[in-house]
Structure 1
Amino acid sequence: MNPLIASEAAGRLAPTALSVNLNKVALLRNTRHLGIPSVTRAAGIVLQAGANGITVHPRPDERHIRGSDVHELAELLRRDWPHIEYNIEGNPFHNLMDFVRVVRPAQATFVPDAEGQFTSDHGWQLPADIERLAPVIAETKALGVRVSLFMDPIPEAMKLAREVGADRVELYTETYASAWGTPRQAEVLAGFTAAAEAALAAGLGVNAGHDLNRDNLADFLRAVPGVQEVSIGHALIADALELGYTATIRDYQRCIAAAYPG
């Protein structure tokens, strides 16, 4: 069974799903006008190699993923990979909802990016953002799309995320990645454990992403309960430049499996 389609209640019993973020493939393509590397071809290769989902983050300036990519990937998945989850992430107050309303992906991940922001670097601030988030969450869920909120690992915010209508949270893992291999690793990781426990207690599913890689992924999954999905792009595509897509996906799946002995 594809773990991305497993019951929300399965939690720690199901292996974590690997969703591949293709932004950096598009970024490289956009440096020339030749259409290579192909984003849709990359999607097909990583899925054949064992990835469980595809993620894109179409920013308003289209510096990597373009609107046409969003729609072409949706068609590819509908036609050839109907069991695979499509996750579209971005700011619902910029261009994200235009895609959600038309494509209706399995999951929309709301990220509080500013226009032109270099990369995602913080989660939603709850309760401050509740009033404006509530209507777009309700609309998205009415379209049959699961909502995940990009969140810092703050345990007390998890209940508020559930109350505003989110189905899942995606824990922003840059602080863990920065602390990995340092004396602060255990302390920082404990904060993510507490946040995930609070999310699960509130009835939320747990996703994670940002700067996770082959070195730090298994340690994170061993310590943080109930992670249903990790979305990995930059490190994975960088690894693929050296190892190839297929070997890279298999190695990330090996890291995930190492967190679930037996």
Structure 2
Amino acid sequence: MNIHQQRQLLDLSISLNSLVQIREKSGAQFFDLSRFSLFAQEAGADCISLYVNESGWPSLASDVNQLSHQAINTFELELVVGDFIIENLMTSAVKHVCLVAANATDTSQYSVLDLENNFSQIDLFVKQLLARGIQVSAFISPIPEAIAAAAELSISRVRLDCSSYVDALSVRQQEHAFGQIQAAATSGVGQGMVVGVEGKCDSVQVQALATISDISHFHLNELVVAQSLQCGWESAIRNIKASLVKSRLNRRANGG
């Protein structure tokens, strides 16, 4: 049975990273991440995520602790591979992590994890996390080599980077990128993985990607923040989730 016949439509994962940046730049410490997390879940979000690097851990440790206890089964911490993380995770309630790579030009952002060329280091790290009962996912490129490496590492969930699709300059390039994502999703599901997508997608691109039946969750940040400026945080999440469900239902109704 296809994994998606065992799941209900699509999960929506909401990132709190933009809110952290707003809080840091404005000094608005009243920005309570746990409060926004609760609002997001009430509006239909299935998962909440937060990126923390080594330099940011001291200022975000309290938030991580709150979010871990508040949404223990739905909170995912985005992390760069490193010894400091293992040490800090030992004293936290975090049960889900997504491995990412550090962004060389912007420390508030992260990049695609290169599983193939950093296999040994990541393998040791993943084993340490799994031994502590922590579930592991990874943010990877939509290519066969990355899917194969994730499977070998026993990573059960992956987020496919949609940058090539989002940034395509022509219809032909966009179609090629869409096909790559579709093939990678199918390959991942064939390896027993839960496959999601992540990128700076607009509403139209999100709806198009939602028609790919082997994609089971969307990880969004910028689109949620942009729409929330127009209709509010909760309404934006509710509208996006409804759009995802509608796109998937239309796909099924049309025999997809």
AA aligned opposite 1:220: L
Structure 2's unaligned 5+ residue stretches are: none
Q: Which residue is 1:62 aligned to?
A: 56
Does the aligned pair in 1 maintain the 2:115–2:149 contact within 8 Å?
A: no
Supply the RMSD in Å over aligned alpha carbons.
Answer: 2.7
SS of residue paired to 1:144:
coil
Question: Over residues 79-133 of structure 1, what are the superposed CA-to-partner deviations in whole Å (9 max), with x where a residue is unaligned?
Answer: xxxxx5111112022654344333343421100215654533333241x211111
How far off is 1:256 after superposition? 1.0
Q: Which sits farther off after the overlay, 90-99 or 235-244?
A: 90-99
Change in CA separation of 1:228 and 1:177 when aligned onto 2, cut-off 3 Å? same
Does the aligned pair in 2 maintain the 1:91–1:113 contact within 8 Å?
A: yes
What is the CA–CA distance in structure 2 between the aligned matches of 1:24 and 1:249, rounded to whole Å? Answer: 14
1:73 equivalenced with 2:67 (yes/no): yes
AA aligned opposite 2:23: R
Change in CA separation of 1:94 and 1:30 when aligned onto 2, cut-off 3 Å? farther
Q: Which sits farther off after the overlay, 12-21 or 241-250?
A: 12-21
Q: Which residue is 1:136 aligned to?
A: 125
What is the CA–CA distance in structure 2 between the aligned matches of 1:105 and 1:130, rounded to whole Å? Answer: 24
1:219-258 equivalences under 5 Å are 219-223=208-212, 225-258=213-246
Percentage of matched positions with identical amino acids: 18
AA aligned opposite 1:259: S
1:119 equivalenced with 2:109 (yes/no): yes
The match for 1:43 among 17, 23, 37 is: 37
AA aligned opposite 2:236: T
The match for 1:9 among 3, 12, 15 is: 3
Q: Which residue is 1:191 aligned to?
A: 180
Question: Over residues 167-206 of structure 1, what are the superposed CA-to-partner deviations in whole Å (9 max), with x where a residue is unaligned?
Answer: 1221111111112884422111000111111112222221
1:179 equivalenced with 2:173 (yes/no): no
Does the aligned pair in 2 maintain the 1:100–1:108 contact within 8 Å?
A: no
- The TM-score, its normalising length taken from structure 1, stands at 0.84
Count of residues in correspondence between the two structures: 249
How far off is 1:148 after superposition? 0.9
Change in CA separation of 1:114 and 1:184 when aligned onto 2, cut-off 3 Å? closer
Change in CA separation of 1:165 and 1:67 when aligned onto 2, cut-off 3 Å? same
SS of residue paired to 1:211:
coil
Structure 1's unaligned 5+ residue stretches are: 1-7, 79-83
What is the CA–CA distance in structure 1 between the aligned matches of 2:177 and 2:26, rounded to whole Å? Answer: 41
Q: Which residue is 1:88 aligned to?
A: 77
1:97-112 equivalences under 5 Å are 97-112=86-101
What is the CA–CA distance in structure 2 between the aligned matches of 1:67 and 1:242, rounded to whole Å? Answer: 31
What is the CA–CA distance in structure 1 between the aligned matches of 2:26 and 2:20, rounded to whole Å? Answer: 11
How far off is 1:216 after superposition? 1.2
1:18-33 equivalences under 5 Å are 18-33=12-27
SS of residue paired to 2:248:
coil
